[in-house]
Structure 1
Amino acid sequence: MAKNIIYSEEAPAPIGPYSQAVLAGNTLYISGQIALDAQTGELINENITEETHAVMKNLDAILSAAGYSFGDVVKCSIFIKNMDDFGTINEAYGQYFPSNPPARETVEVSKLPKNVQVEISCIAVKA
Protein backbone atom coordinates (compact mmCIF):
# COMPACT_ATOMS: atom_id res chain seq x y z
CA MET A 1 0.00 0.00 0.00
CA ALA A 2 1.30 3.44 -0.92
CA LYS A 3 1.77 6.08 1.71
CA ASN A 4 1.18 9.65 0.49
CA ILE A 5 2.07 12.73 2.49
CA ILE A 6 -0.68 15.38 2.44
CA TYR A 7 0.16 19.04 2.89
CA SER A 8 -2.02 22.14 2.79
CA GLU A 9 -0.69 25.69 2.79
CA GLU A 10 -4.04 26.66 4.34
CA ALA A 11 -3.07 24.84 7.56
CA PRO A 12 -0.03 25.50 9.76
CA ALA A 13 3.22 23.83 8.78
CA PRO A 14 4.31 21.08 11.16
CA ILE A 15 6.36 22.31 14.11
CA GLY A 16 8.22 19.03 14.47
CA PRO A 17 9.23 15.87 12.60
CA TYR A 18 5.76 14.86 11.44
CA SER A 19 3.44 15.37 8.47
CA GLN A 20 0.16 17.27 8.52
CA ALA A 21 -1.45 14.09 7.25
CA VAL A 22 -0.70 10.71 5.71
CA LEU A 23 -2.98 9.00 3.22
CA ALA A 24 -2.61 5.21 3.33
CA GLY A 25 -4.95 3.51 0.90
CA ASN A 26 -8.31 5.22 1.40
CA THR A 27 -7.61 6.18 5.03
CA LEU A 28 -6.41 9.67 5.92
CA TYR A 29 -4.60 10.16 9.24
CA ILE A 30 -4.42 13.82 10.27
CA SER A 31 -1.94 14.89 12.93
CA GLY A 32 -3.12 16.89 15.90
CA GLN A 33 -3.95 20.46 14.96
CA ILE A 34 -3.81 23.50 17.18
CA ALA A 35 -5.14 27.01 16.65
CA LEU A 36 -2.24 28.42 14.66
CA ASP A 37 -3.02 30.77 11.79
CA ALA A 38 -1.35 29.26 8.71
CA GLN A 39 -0.53 32.65 7.20
CA THR A 40 0.80 34.52 10.24
CA GLY A 41 1.91 31.72 12.55
CA GLU A 42 0.05 33.47 15.36
CA LEU A 43 -2.12 31.64 17.86
CA ILE A 44 -5.87 32.20 17.64
CA ASN A 45 -6.79 31.83 21.27
CA GLU A 46 -8.82 34.75 22.56
CA ASN A 47 -11.31 32.24 23.97
CA ILE A 48 -11.89 28.49 23.82
CA THR A 49 -14.69 28.81 21.23
CA GLU A 50 -12.51 30.80 18.84
CA GLU A 51 -9.62 28.42 19.46
CA THR A 52 -11.74 25.34 18.72
CA HIS A 53 -13.07 26.85 15.47
CA ALA A 54 -9.49 27.66 14.39
CA VAL A 55 -8.45 24.06 15.03
CA MET A 56 -11.43 22.78 13.02
CA LYS A 57 -10.57 25.19 10.18
CA ASN A 58 -7.05 23.72 10.06
CA LEU A 59 -8.45 20.18 10.00
CA ASP A 60 -10.83 21.20 7.20
CA ALA A 61 -7.94 22.61 5.12
CA ILE A 62 -6.04 19.34 5.39
CA LEU A 63 -9.12 17.23 4.69
CA SER A 64 -9.80 19.35 1.59
CA ALA A 65 -6.20 19.06 0.37
CA ALA A 66 -6.69 15.29 0.31
CA GLY A 67 -10.13 15.47 -1.31
CA TYR A 68 -11.95 14.59 1.92
CA SER A 69 -14.49 16.39 4.09
CA PHE A 70 -15.80 16.26 7.66
CA GLY A 71 -18.40 13.79 6.35
CA ASP A 72 -15.56 11.29 5.79
CA VAL A 73 -14.20 11.56 9.36
CA VAL A 74 -14.66 8.35 11.34
CA LYS A 75 -12.61 9.12 14.48
CA CYS A 76 -11.37 12.18 16.35
CA SER A 77 -9.15 12.57 19.37
CA ILE A 78 -9.49 15.74 21.43
CA PHE A 79 -6.90 16.80 23.96
CA ILE A 80 -7.84 19.65 26.30
CA LYS A 81 -6.08 21.37 29.16
CA ASN A 82 -9.21 21.87 31.23
CA MET A 83 -12.15 19.45 31.31
CA ASP A 84 -14.30 22.39 32.44
CA ASP A 85 -14.09 23.56 28.77
CA PHE A 86 -15.63 20.27 27.56
CA GLY A 87 -19.12 21.71 26.94
CA THR A 88 -17.88 24.82 25.14
CA ILE A 89 -15.55 22.78 22.93
CA ASN A 90 -18.39 20.33 22.18
CA GLU A 91 -20.63 23.19 21.10
CA ALA A 92 -18.09 24.50 18.57
CA TYR A 93 -16.88 21.04 17.46
CA GLY A 94 -20.43 19.78 16.96
CA GLN A 95 -21.12 22.42 14.30
CA TYR A 96 -18.79 20.52 11.96
CA PHE A 97 -20.64 17.22 12.46
CA PRO A 98 -24.36 18.07 12.30
CA SER A 99 -25.32 14.43 11.72
CA ASN A 100 -23.64 11.06 12.13
CA PRO A 101 -20.69 12.36 14.16
CA PRO A 102 -17.50 10.30 14.27
CA ALA A 103 -16.28 8.18 17.16
CA ARG A 104 -14.22 10.20 19.59
CA GLU A 105 -12.40 10.45 22.86
CA THR A 106 -11.67 13.58 24.85
CA VAL A 107 -8.75 13.57 27.25
CA GLU A 108 -7.60 16.22 29.70
CA VAL A 109 -3.83 16.71 29.54
CA SER A 110 -1.44 18.82 31.58
CA LYS A 111 0.18 20.64 28.67
CA LEU A 112 -0.17 21.05 24.90
CA PRO A 113 2.15 22.50 22.24
CA LYS A 114 2.55 26.29 22.49
CA ASN A 115 0.40 26.14 25.65
CA VAL A 116 -2.85 25.99 23.67
CA GLN A 117 -6.09 24.87 25.31
CA VAL A 118 -7.18 22.29 22.69
CA GLU A 119 -5.64 19.98 20.09
CA ILE A 120 -7.63 17.71 17.76
CA SER A 121 -6.54 14.92 15.41
CA CYS A 122 -8.73 12.81 13.16
CA ILE A 123 -8.97 9.83 10.85
CA ALA A 124 -11.07 9.93 7.68
CA VAL A 125 -12.02 7.14 5.29
CA LYS A 126 -13.39 7.25 1.75
CA ALA A 127 -15.65 4.37 0.78
Structure 2
Amino acid sequence: MPRETITTSEAPSSPLYSQAVRAGNHIYVSGTVGVDISTGKLAGESIQEQTHQALANCETILKAAGSGLNDLVEIGVLLARPEDFAGFNEEYARWFPSDPPARYVAKLGVELPGILISIRATAVTA
Protein backbone atom coordinates (compact mmCIF):
# COMPACT_ATOMS: atom_id res chain seq x y z
CA MET A 1 0.00 0.00 0.00
CA PRO A 2 1.52 3.36 -0.98
CA ARG A 3 2.15 5.89 1.76
CA GLU A 4 1.58 9.64 1.32
CA THR A 5 3.02 12.27 3.64
CA ILE A 6 0.60 15.08 4.48
CA THR A 7 2.12 18.52 5.07
CA THR A 8 0.67 21.96 5.66
CA SER A 9 2.29 25.24 6.65
CA GLU A 10 -0.91 26.08 8.56
CA ALA A 11 -0.07 23.77 11.52
CA PRO A 12 2.99 23.15 13.70
CA SER A 13 5.60 20.88 12.15
CA SER A 14 8.95 19.26 12.84
CA PRO A 15 11.64 17.74 10.65
CA LEU A 16 11.55 14.71 12.99
CA TYR A 17 8.09 13.44 11.96
CA SER A 18 5.31 13.93 9.44
CA GLN A 19 2.26 15.96 10.44
CA ALA A 20 0.19 13.11 9.04
CA VAL A 21 0.50 10.08 6.79
CA ARG A 22 -2.17 8.64 4.53
CA ALA A 23 -2.12 4.88 3.93
CA GLY A 24 -5.04 3.73 1.83
CA ASN A 25 -8.14 5.34 3.27
CA HIS A 26 -6.56 5.87 6.72
CA ILE A 27 -5.01 9.17 7.83
CA TYR A 28 -2.72 9.10 10.87
CA VAL A 29 -2.17 12.52 12.47
CA SER A 30 0.96 12.82 14.62
CA GLY A 31 0.85 14.13 18.17
CA THR A 32 -0.12 17.77 17.90
CA VAL A 33 0.21 20.40 20.62
CA GLY A 34 -1.51 23.71 21.31
CA VAL A 35 0.90 25.97 19.43
CA ASP A 36 -0.70 28.80 17.47
CA ILE A 37 1.11 28.78 14.14
CA SER A 38 0.43 32.52 13.63
CA THR A 39 2.48 33.42 16.71
CA GLY A 40 4.69 30.35 17.11
CA LYS A 41 3.70 30.29 20.78
CA LEU A 42 1.37 28.23 22.94
CA ALA A 43 -2.25 29.34 22.61
CA GLY A 44 -2.38 29.97 26.35
CA GLU A 45 -1.54 28.57 29.74
CA SER A 46 -4.83 26.77 30.42
CA ILE A 47 -5.69 23.24 29.39
CA GLN A 48 -8.81 24.56 27.65
CA GLU A 49 -6.82 26.99 25.48
CA GLN A 50 -4.22 24.40 24.57
CA THR A 51 -6.85 21.71 23.91
CA HIS A 52 -8.74 24.08 21.63
CA GLN A 53 -5.59 24.91 19.65
CA ALA A 54 -4.37 21.31 19.47
CA LEU A 55 -7.76 20.21 18.08
CA ALA A 56 -7.76 23.15 15.64
CA ASN A 57 -4.28 22.08 14.49
CA CYS A 58 -5.50 18.49 14.01
CA GLU A 59 -8.45 19.80 12.01
CA THR A 60 -6.09 21.86 9.81
CA ILE A 61 -3.89 18.84 9.13
CA LEU A 62 -6.93 16.70 8.32
CA LYS A 63 -8.15 19.40 5.94
CA ALA A 64 -4.78 19.31 4.15
CA ALA A 65 -5.40 15.57 3.68
CA GLY A 66 -8.86 16.21 2.23
CA SER A 67 -10.54 15.02 5.42
CA GLY A 68 -12.13 16.48 8.53
CA LEU A 69 -13.16 15.90 12.12
CA ASN A 70 -16.21 13.90 11.00
CA ASP A 71 -13.84 11.25 9.60
CA LEU A 72 -12.07 10.69 12.94
CA VAL A 73 -12.41 7.19 14.35
CA GLU A 74 -9.92 7.46 17.20
CA ILE A 75 -8.15 10.16 19.22
CA GLY A 76 -5.25 9.65 21.60
CA VAL A 77 -4.64 12.28 24.24
CA LEU A 78 -1.57 12.74 26.41
CA LEU A 79 -1.94 15.11 29.37
CA ALA A 80 1.05 16.55 31.22
CA ARG A 81 -1.02 16.92 34.40
CA PRO A 82 -3.74 14.39 35.24
CA GLU A 83 -5.54 17.09 37.22
CA ASP A 84 -6.31 18.81 33.88
CA PHE A 85 -8.63 15.96 32.83
CA ALA A 86 -11.87 17.81 33.71
CA GLY A 87 -10.77 21.00 31.92
CA PHE A 88 -9.71 18.96 28.90
CA ASN A 89 -13.12 17.24 28.80
CA GLU A 90 -14.85 20.62 29.04
CA GLU A 91 -13.21 21.85 25.81
CA TYR A 92 -13.28 18.44 24.09
CA ALA A 93 -17.07 18.23 24.52
CA ARG A 94 -17.44 21.49 22.55
CA TRP A 95 -15.73 19.86 19.57
CA PHE A 96 -17.55 16.53 19.78
CA PRO A 97 -21.01 17.18 21.30
CA SER A 98 -22.40 13.89 19.92
CA ASP A 99 -21.07 10.69 18.35
CA PRO A 100 -17.45 11.33 19.36
CA PRO A 101 -14.62 9.14 18.07
CA ALA A 102 -13.09 6.41 20.23
CA ARG A 103 -10.59 7.95 22.64
CA TYR A 104 -7.88 7.22 25.13
CA VAL A 105 -6.20 9.54 27.61
CA ALA A 106 -2.85 8.89 29.27
CA LYS A 107 -0.12 10.84 31.03
CA LEU A 108 2.45 12.58 28.83
CA GLY A 109 5.76 10.84 29.53
CA VAL A 110 8.15 13.66 28.67
CA GLU A 111 8.24 17.10 30.22
CA LEU A 112 8.11 19.84 27.61
CA PRO A 113 8.09 23.42 28.97
CA GLY A 114 4.55 24.79 29.00
CA ILE A 115 3.04 21.91 26.99
CA LEU A 116 -0.07 20.58 28.72
CA ILE A 117 -1.47 18.32 25.99
CA SER A 118 -0.62 16.37 22.86
CA ILE A 119 -3.35 14.96 20.64
CA ARG A 120 -2.94 12.34 17.90
CA ALA A 121 -5.74 11.06 15.72
CA THR A 122 -6.76 8.51 13.11
CA ALA A 123 -9.31 9.24 10.40
CA VAL A 124 -10.86 6.93 7.82
CA THR A 125 -12.16 8.31 4.54
CA ALA A 126 -14.36 6.75 1.88
Q: Tell me the alpha carbon deviations over residues 31-54 of structure 1, each in whole angstroms, 9 at most, x when there is no partner.
A: 000011213311222211111101
Q: Output the aligned Cα RMSD.
A: 1.4
- CA distance in 2 between partners of 1:51 and 1:82 (Å): 13
**Residue 79 of structure 1: aligned partner:** 78
Give unmatched runs, 5+ long, in structure 1: none
Q: Please give the secondary structure, in 1, of the residue aligned with 2:105.
A: strand
- CA distance in 1 between partners of 2:109 and 2:118 (Å): 12
Give unmatched runs, 5+ long, in structure 2: none
- CA distance in 1 between partners of 2:8 and 2:59 (Å): 10
The CA deviation at 1:80 is 0.3
The normalised TM-score by structure 2 is 0.92
* Residues 1-127 of structure 1 mapped to structure 2, 5 A cutoff: 1-14=1-14, 16-127=15-126
- CA distance in 2 between partners of 1:77 and 1:112 (Å): 18
The CA deviation at 1:83 is 1.3
Task: Classify 1:25/1:114 alpha carbon distance in 2 versus 1 (closer, same or farther; 3 Å).
Answer: farther
- CA distance in 2 between partners of 1:92 and 1:55 (Å): 11
The CA deviation at 1:114 is 4.0
Q: Do the aligned residues in 1 keep the contact of 2:79 with 2:117 (CA within 8 Å)?
A: yes
> Which runs of 4 or more aligned residues in structure 1 lie more than 4 Å from their structure 2 counterparts after TM superposition?
none
Q: Do the aligned residues in 2 keep the contact of 1:81 with 1:112 (CA within 8 Å)?
A: yes
Amino acid of the structure 1 residue aligned with 2:43? I
- CA distance in 2 between partners of 1:70 and 1:91 (Å): 18
Task: Classify 1:92/1:103 alpha carbon distance in 2 versus 1 (closer, same or farther; 3 Å).
Answer: same
Q: Tell me the alpha carbon deviations over residues 15-34 of structure 1, each in whole angstroms, 9 at most, x when there is no partner.
A: x4110000000100000000
Q: Do the aligned residues in 2 keep the contact of 1:2 with 1:25 (CA within 8 Å)?
A: yes
